[in-house]
C-alpha cells in the first residue's frame, strides 16, 4: 500500500529529461530523482524532430516507478524548453512529429516575414526577442511551404501542453510558454488575434491560456487503467523551464538578477510589467511570462550547447573526453587567448563546432585555439564575458543595480564557469540549486495546493533547503582588461 506522499515534477531539457519527487516537511524540501532518460532528436531525411511519443512513454515510466516504490503521487506538473509545438487534428490525434527548433526549415523565415510585417510592429505587440526559431517564424515557414499539416490542424499545443493533453485529454495553453511564441500580446492578456490574422493563422487553433498553478484535469481513465494507478491531478506549472528555474531562484531581495545556466544561458531579472520600447527591441531583449503574473526581462545566450556540441564533434572523430577532464584542461590553458560571441549564427546548428570556432577566430583576426583545453577555455571565457555584457544591459533596461548574480541549473556543476562568471562581472555569484527548473515546478504545485503562501515564501524555503555556493570575484583587473578585448574581438558595443 502506498505510504510515501509526494508530488512529481517532470523536467524536460533539450538533451535529457527527469522525473523528480518532492516532499515538503517542516519547511524543508526533500527531492528524489525517480527516473532519468535521454531526449535525443531524430533526423529523418532533411528534417530534425523531437521523439514526442518516446517522451510520453518516459512520463509513463516515471508513474510506474512511483507505483512500484509505493509512492502516493498527489499531483504532477511538466516543464520543458520553449517555442516548439505540435498540432492536434479534428479527431483529437497528433499530426506528425514536432520539429526541433534547430531544424533548418526556418532558415530565412524571419527576414521574409519582416518583409511583410515590420519588426517594430511584431516586437511592439509581443515584447519578445527575435530568434530565428521562435514559434511565429516556425509557423510562417510552414505556411510558406504550404505544409499539409496546416490543412488538417485543429489545435496548436506547445510541448508541455501536448504531453499534458496526452495525460489528461484536456487542451489548455500555459501562460509562461505561450508568451515565448511571439504570438501573445501582454497588453491584451492573450493571443494577438490581429497578428494571427495578418499571418493567416486561424485564431481557433489557439486555445484558452491558464496561469501557472492552475489544475488542468487529471490522468485520463485509459491511462490509469493501463498503469493501474489513481487519477492523479495534473497542474499547469511554469511550463517554460526557464520560468520554473526563475521561480526557484533563492533570492533575498525583490530586485535580483539570475542566470539559468544549461544548454541555453538566460540572464535577466523579474519585472512586474514588460519592458517594450525601441531600446529593448534594438538590444533584442525579451519579456517572457513568469509566475504570479510577473514577466522575465531577459536575453538568451547560446550557452553550454557550444561546449556539448564541441565534445560531440570530438567523439565523432574518435576522441572522447569526460566533462571534468575538459574543464581541467581548460583551467591549464593560456588565459584570454581568443574570444567568440556565443550568439553568432555560426554556433546555432549542430555540426563541426570546433571548426566553427576556428573559422570565427580567423574571420575576426584572432589566432584560433587548437588544443582541446584552449578550445574549451575560449568557450567558457567567452560565455563569462557575454554574461557581463548582458547583465549590464539588463541593469540599464530595468533601471536596477544588482549586487551579484544568482546562477541556477545544471551548468552550475561547472565550477570553473561559475568562478569565471564572478571574475567577469566583478561581483559575487551565488550558485544553486542545480535542479532549478524541477524545484520551481514543485513549488508552484505546492503554492496551488496551499502548502506555500506565495512565490516569496517558496524562495525562502528553497534557500533553507538547498546549498548555495558563493563565488567571489578574483583577478578583477585582468578580467576587466580582457573584457575590452572581448568587445573588440566580437564587435559588441560596450555599455
- Sign of the C-alpha dihedral computed for residues 265, 268, 272 and 273 taken in this order: negative
Q: Are strands 257-261 and 405-408 parallel, antiparallel or unpaired?
A: parallel
Residue closest to 184 by CA, chosen among 276, 92, 103: 276
Give the catalytic positions in this structure: 241
Query: What radius of gyration, in Å, describes the C-alpha atoms of the chain?
Result: 22
Helix (H, G, I), strand (E, B) or coil at 296: strand
Q: Are 258 and 291 in contact (CB under 8 A)?
A: no
- Cell numbers 526556418 label which residue? 106
Going by the DSSP 8-state scheme, the letter that residue 203 receives in this structure is G
Question: Looking at the DSSP assignment, which residues form a beta bridge with residue 257?
Answer: 269
Say how far apart CA 332 and CA 44 lie, in whole Å: 41
Q: Is the CB of residue 434 less than 8 Å from the CB of residue 410?
A: yes
The rounded distance, in Å, linking the Cα atoms of 422 and 399 is: 21
For 388, list phi and psi in degrees, rounded to 5.
-60, -45
Bridge partners for 11 per DSSP: 18, 79
CB under 8 Å to 154, separation ≥6 — which residues? 87, 88, 89, 90, 204, 205
- 3 state SS for 311-354: HHHHHHCCCCCCHHHHHHHHHHCCCCCCCCCCCCHHHCCCCCHH
- Measured CA to CA, the distance from residue 341 to residue 491 in angstroms comes to 9
- Nearest to residue 434, comparing CAs of 236, 219, 248, 172? 248
Amino acid at each position: 500500500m502506498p505510504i510515501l506522499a509526494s508530488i512529481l515534477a517532470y523536467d524536460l531539457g533539450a538533451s535529457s529529461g527527469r522525473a523528480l519527487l518532492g516532499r515538503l516537511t517542516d519547511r524543508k524540501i526533500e527531492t528524489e530523482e525517480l527516473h532519468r532518460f535521454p531526449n535525443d532528436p531524430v533526423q529523418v531525411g532533411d528534417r530534425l524532430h523531437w521523439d514526442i511519443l518516446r517522451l510520453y512513454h518516459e512520463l509513463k515510466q516515471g508513474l510506474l516507478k512511483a507505483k512500484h516504490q509505493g509512492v502516493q503521487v498527489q499531483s504532477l506538473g511538466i516543464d520543458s524548453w520553449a517555442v516548439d509545438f505540435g498540432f492536434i487534428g479534428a479527431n483529437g490525434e497528433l499530426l506528425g512529429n514536432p520539429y526541433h527548433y534547430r531544424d533548418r526549415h526556418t532558415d530565412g523565415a524571419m527576414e521574409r516575414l519582416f518583409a511583410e510585417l515590420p519588426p517594430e510592429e511584431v516586437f511592439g505587440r509581443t515584447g519578445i526577442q527575435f530568434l530565428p526559431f521562435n514559434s511565429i517564424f516556425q509557423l510562417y515557414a510552414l505556411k510558406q511551404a504550404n505544409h499539409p499539416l496546416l490543412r488538417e490542424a485543429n489545435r496548436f499545443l506547445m510541448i508541455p501542453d501536448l504531453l499534458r493533453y496526452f495525460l489528461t485529454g484536456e487542451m489548455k495553453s500555459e501562460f509562461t510558454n505561450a508568451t515565448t511564441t511571439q504570438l501573445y500580446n501582454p497588453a491584451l492578456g492573450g493571443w494577438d488575434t490581429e497578428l494571427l490574422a495578418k499571418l493567416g493563422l486561424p485564431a481557433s487553433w489557439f486555445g484558452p491560456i491558464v496561469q501557472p498553478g492552475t489544475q488542468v484535469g487529471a490522468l485520463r481513465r485509459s491511462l490509469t487503467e493501463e498503469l493501474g494507478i489513481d487519477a492523479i491531478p495534473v497542474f499547469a506549472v511554469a511550463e517554460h523551464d526557464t520560468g520554473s528555474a526563475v521561480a526557484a531562484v533563492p533570492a533575498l531581495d525583490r530586485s535580483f538578477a539570475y542566470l539559468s545556466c544549461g544548454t541555453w544561458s538566460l540572464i535577466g531579472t523579474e519585472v512586474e510589467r514588460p519592458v517594450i520600447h525601441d531600446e529593448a527591441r534594438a538590444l533584442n531583449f525579451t519579456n517572457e511570462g513568469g509566475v504570479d503574473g510577473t514577466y522575465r526581462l531577459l536575453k538568451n545566450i547560446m550557452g553550454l550547447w557550444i561546449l556539448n556540441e564541441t565534445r560531440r564533434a570530438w567523439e565523432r572523430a574518435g576522441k572522447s573526453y569526460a566533462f571534468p577532464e575538459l574543464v581541467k584542461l581548460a583551467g591549464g590553458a593560456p588565459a584570454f587567448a581568443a574570444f567568440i560571441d556565443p550568439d553568432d549564427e555560426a554556433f546555432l546548428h549542430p555540426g563541426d563546432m570546433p571548426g566553427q570556432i576556428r573559422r570565427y577566430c580567423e574571420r575576426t583576426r584572432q589566432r584560433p585555439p587548437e588544443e582541446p583545453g584552449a578550445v574549451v577555455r575560449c568557450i567558457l571565457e567567452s560565455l563569462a564575458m557575454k554574461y557581463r555584457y548582458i547583465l549590464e544591459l539588463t541593469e540599464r533596461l530595468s533601471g536596477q543595480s544588482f549586487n551579484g548574480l544568482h546562477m541556477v541549473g545544471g551548468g552550475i556543476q561547472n565550477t570553473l564557469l561559475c568562478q569565471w562568471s564572478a571574475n567577469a562581472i566583478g561581483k559575487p555569484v551565488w550558485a544553486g540549486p542545480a535542479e532549478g527548473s524541477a524545484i520551481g515546478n514543485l513549488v508552484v504545485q505546492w503554492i496551488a495546493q496551499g502548502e506555500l503562501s506565495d512565490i516569496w515564501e517558496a524562495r525562502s524555503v528553497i534557500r533553507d533547503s538547498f546549498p548555495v555556493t558563493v563565488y567571489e570575484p578574483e583577478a578583477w583587473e585582468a578580467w576587466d582588461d580582457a573584457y575590452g578585448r572581448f568587445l573588440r574581438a566580437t564587435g559588441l558595443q560596450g555599455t
